[in-house]
Each structure stands twice: as C-alpha cells, then as structure tokens.
C-alpha cells in the first residue's frame, strides 16, 4: 500500500551504534529519543539490542507501548492529567513545576514506588525549565523533602524554541548549578543532561566540559546529523527513512492557472510564475500526511504544491522516466519523518 515510508533498519542500527559509541567514549550516557518515529516497535527493538542507556519520549502514550529493561524517560514536562500514567510507564521524567512534582510524589506513594526526576533549567532558549536561579534552589529544597521523589539530576534544553546553540559558557552555567546544589544541600547529582542533537558538534570536537554526562538524542539518530550547524556525522546515514508515493496523474500543463484566481483549498490566495508548459505529476499523498516542502527528491524534480490528499510535482527536469502507476522517491527531513510516521494513511515498510 502506498504512500509508504521505507525504513532501513541496518542504517538505523548503524546510526545508533556510532552515536552511542561517540557518547560512551567520552563518559556521556545516551538517552535515545523515540518521538519522531512514534516509538515504532522495530526501531525500539534495535535500541534494546544496542543497549542504549535510556529510552526517552515526549509522549507518555509512546512510553506505555515500549517494553524494555532499559530505563524509560518522559521528556515533556508531565501534565497534571497524566500523572498516573507517568508513574506507571516511566522511570524518570523531566520537570520544572513544583506542583507537578508534588503530584508525582503522591501518586508514587500510592504505588509504593519512587519516581526519578531531572530538574530542567532554562539557560536562555526559553522553552521549558526554571529560569530564576533562586527558584531552582527553592524547588530543590522542597523536592528533597518528598519521600517518593528521587532527584536524579539536572538538565537543560537548547536549540528548540530560541535556537540557542550549546556553548562552553552555557554548559559551564549548568555545571555551576550542579556544584551549587551539591554544596547547598550536601547531595550528589548523578545526571547532568546537557541537551539534544545540537550538542553533538561540541561532543565530537571534545568541547563538552567534563561533568556533562548525558545527552538526549533524537534527530541525529534518524538523520545522521547534528542540529546546531546541520553537519552530517561521519559514519552515519541520512536516508534511514524515505517516502515512496505513487503517481496517479502525469500530464503537461501550463504553470499559471486559467481564470480569475481566488483562494486555494486552504484559504490562501496563491501566486504563480509563468514557466510555460511543464510536465506535472500528481502523487497520492497530501498535506494530511506531509508538507510537500519537506520532501527532498532523489531526482531533479520539484514538489510545487499540495492539497489535503495530493502533491503536485514538476517532473519536467527529471532524469528518470515516470509513468502513471509508477513511483516517486524522496528523502525526508525531521518534520516530514514526524508527520509521515504520525499519519495513519502511510504504510511502514522495513528494509531488514
Ligand atoms: C525532542 C527532545 C529531545 C531530542 O531532540 P533532538 O534534537 O531530536 O535530538 C531532547 N530533549 C527534549 C526535552 C526533547 O523534547
């Protein structure tokens, strides 16, 4: 069935191995992040076999589906409506709100367990994390009084909302927090989680200050690249995931629509540049599955537009011979993998 997302399991395994080994070589533990592929079972199986240190996802529904002996981490700050699931299906969660941590404590008490937390500190990217220094110490003080919560460490998230790149400076700020917390409360913090795939450049350049001992990696595992500068990582693959969609119409048509132009299917008024007659293919996949601008053709063809269920591709300059009933193949980006894996209309094929 098409459209299909083709997943190369050997290539994924290689990416996992390369990144895990690069982390371990530097005494950094790896949290393998599964959200972009919706914790697909075959990919999670590889994470199990390759013995990553943690399996992490932002959705508790995904963690619920994962069976593993590896500790499971909830990346998104828990919502008050999912506390029971968080206690049942994750070992550790990232947190920044005391009221939430208190709920986790009482729920853990009911289950007779202890829940681990990593306290998130916002160093300027302005997504999650405590921003005010005094608040950090006040929250730690209170957390240490909660009998069913174990403060496993601290962490920060960068290059997500604000695009702030990890640096020696902001990594040292995180380490300073660790030192201050340890001294003020006479405890030792096991985990200092220094970020996501945007920290890999620093990792590979051996610029991550020692003491940062954990990274949470998602995009780099699936696309073989770091996300601070977009560089590919030696020894990894960028085509673990590909989209194959079938051609349902192939005709030569003008580039400019004929008639008075009003709104398109999504309420926007489109504009067109006249390039004369072009060979246009319609693919049986649409906005409901993926944004056509996030498809990277292997051939010199170009996705030029889409509606809910159709993507139009200019195939005039293609080298391959296309025909109705045939296929077009694309490499993918982070956001196109995310949306295709989430669409129930897309079939998953595994290259074993
Ligand atoms: C998604 C996510 C990650 C993984 O980020 P990548 O850029 O895909 O490596 C790490 N930490 C948190 C909190 C996340 O939500």
35 among known catalytic residues: yes
Query: For residues 98 and 187, what is the distance between their CA atoms, to the nearest angstrom?
Result: 19
Give the CATH number for residue 57.
3.20.20.10
pTM of structure: 0.95
Within a domain: residue 236?
no
Assess whether 211 and 75 both reside in one domain. yes
Within a domain: residue 200?
yes
Please say which residue of 194, 223, 252 terminates a domain. 223
Residue 112 burial (10 A CB sphere; 0-12, 13-18, 19+): exposed
Beta bridge partners of 56: 33, 73
Assess whether 210 and 261 both reside in one domain. no
pLDDT at 224: 97
How far apart are the CA of 60 and the centre of ligand 1, in A?
A: 15
Q: Which of 11, 29, 35, 207 is catalytic?
A: 35
pLDDT at 270: 87
Token duo for residue 210: 């020692």
Token duo for residue 95: 């947190």
Please say which residue of 223, 251, 271 terminates a domain. 223
Assess whether 211 and 269 both reside in one domain. no
Assess whether 198 and 293 both reside in one domain. no
Assess whether 281 and 135 both reside in one domain. no
Assess whether 195 and 274 both reside in one domain. no
Assess whether 185 and 245 both reside in one domain. no
Nearest CA to ligand 1 atom 14: 75
How far apart are the CA of 62 and the centre of ligand 1, in A?
A: 15
Q: How far is CA 102 from CA 150, 156, 193, in A?
A: 12, 21, 22
SS (H, E, C) the chain: CCCEEEEEHHHHHHHHHHHHHHHHHCCCEEEEECHHHCCCHHHHHHHHHCCCCEEEECCHHHHHHCCCCCCEEECCCCCHHHHHHHHHHCCEEEECCHHHHHHHHHHHHHHCCCEEEEEEECCCCCCCCECCHHHHHHHHHHHCCCCCEEEEEEECCCCCCCCCCCCHHHHHHHHHHHHHHHHHHCCCCCEEECCCHHHHHHHHCCCCCCCCCEEEECHHHHHCECCCCCCECCCCCCCCEEEEEEEEEEEEEECCCCCCCCCCCCCCCCCCCCCCEEEEEEECCCCCCCCHHHEEECCCCEEEEEECCEEEEECCCCCCCCCCCCEEEEEECHHHHHHHHHCCCCEEEEEC
Within a domain: residue 17?
yes
Could you list the pLDDT tens digit for every one of the 352 residues in the chain? 789 999 999 999 999 999 999 999 999 999 999 999 999 999 999 999 999 999 999 999 999 999 999 999 999 999 999 999 999 999 999 999 999 999 999 999 999 999 999 999 999 999 999 999 999 999 999 999 999 999 999 999 999 889 999 999 999 999 999 999 999 999 999 999 999 999 999 999 999 999 999 999 999 999 999 999 999 999 999 999 999 999 999 999 999 999 998 888 888 888 899 999 999 999 999 999 999 999 999 999 999 999 999 999 999 999 999 999 999 999 999 999 999 999 999 999 999 9
Structural domains counted in the chain: 2
Please say which residue of 189, 223, 257 terminates a domain. 223
Assess whether 142 and 74 both reside in one domain. yes
Assess whether 217 and 85 both reside in one domain. yes
Q: Are 311 and 282 in contact (CB under 8 A)?
A: yes
Within a domain: residue 129?
yes
Assess whether 61 and 178 both reside in one domain. yes
Domain with 73 in it: 9-223
Q: Are 37 and 178 in contact (CB under 8 A)?
A: no
Assess whether 149 and 258 both reside in one domain. no
Within a domain: residue 230?
no
> For ligand 1, what atom is nearest to the CA of residue 94?
13
For ligand 1, which residues put their CB under 6 angstroms from it?
33, 35, 58, 75, 94, 157, 196-197, 216-220, 227
Within a domain: residue 26?
yes
Nearest CA to ligand 1 atom 12: 75
Query: For residues 28 and 53, what is the distance between their CA atoms, to the nearest angstrom?
Result: 10
Beta bridge partners of 217: 32
Within a domain: residue 182?
yes
Select from 5, 128, 138, 16 the least CA-distant residue to 77. 128
Q: How far is CA 218 from CA 26, 116, 182, 209, 261, in A?
A: 19, 21, 30, 21, 42
Nearest CA to ligand 1 atom 7: 197
How far apart are the CA of 309 and the centre of ligand 1, in A?
A: 30
Assess whether 209 and 67 both reside in one domain. yes
Q: How far is CA 184 from CA 73, 87, 91, 137, 335, in A?
A: 27, 29, 26, 8, 42
> For ligand 1, what atom is nearest to the CA of residue 227?
7
How far apart are the CA of 167 and the centre of ligand 1, in A?
A: 17
Give the CATH number for residue 262.
2.40.37.10
pLDDT at 1: 74
Select from 233, 234, 277, 275 the least CA-distant residue to 254. 277
- Kind of pairing, strands 149-155 and 4-8? unpaired
Within a domain: residue 43?
yes
């Amino acid at each position: 069935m098409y459209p299909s997302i083709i997943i190369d399991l050997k290539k994924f395994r290689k990416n996992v191995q390369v990144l895990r080994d690069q982390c371990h070589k530097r005494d950094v533990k790896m949290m393998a992040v599964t959200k972009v592929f919706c914790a697909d079972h075959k990919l999670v199986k590889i994470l199990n076999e390759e013995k990553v240190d943690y399996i992490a996802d932002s959705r508790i529904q995904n963690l619920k589906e994962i069976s593993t002996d590896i500790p499971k981490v909830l990346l998104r700050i828990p919502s008050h409506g999912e506390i029971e699931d968080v206690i049942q299906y994750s070992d550790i969660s990232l947190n920044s709100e005391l009221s939430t941590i208190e709920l986790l404590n009482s729920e853990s008490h009911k289950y007779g367990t202890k829940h681990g937390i990593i306290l998130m500190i916002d160093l300027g990217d302005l997504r999650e994390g405590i921003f005010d220094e005094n608040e950090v110490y006040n929250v730690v003080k209170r957390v240490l009084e909660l009998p069913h919560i174990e403060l496993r460490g601290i962490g920060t998230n960068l290059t997500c909302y604000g695009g702030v790149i990890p640096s020696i400076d902001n990594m040292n700020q995180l380490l300073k927090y660790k030192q201050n917390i340890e001294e003020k409360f006479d405890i030792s913090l096991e985990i200092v989680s220094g970020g996501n795939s945007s920290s890999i450049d620093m990792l590979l350049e051996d610029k991550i200050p020692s003491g940062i001992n954990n990274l949470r990696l998602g995009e780099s595992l699936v696309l073989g690249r770091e996300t601070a500068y977009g560089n590919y990582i030696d020894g990894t693959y960028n085509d673990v995931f590909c989209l194959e969609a079938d051609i349902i119409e192939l005709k030569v048509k003008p580039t400019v629509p004929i008639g008075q132009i009003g709104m398109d299917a999504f309420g926007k008024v489109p504009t067109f540049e006249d390039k004369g007659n072009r060979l246009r293919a319609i693919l049986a996949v649409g906005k409901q599955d993926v944004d056509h601008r996030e498809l990277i053709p292997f051939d010199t063809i170009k996705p030029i537009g889409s509606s809910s269920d159709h993507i139009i591709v200019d195939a005039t300059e293609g080298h391959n011979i296309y025909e109705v009933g045939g296929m077009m193949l694309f490499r993918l980006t982070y956001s196109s993998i995310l949306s295709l894996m989430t669409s129930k209309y897309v079939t998953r094929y595994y290259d074993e």
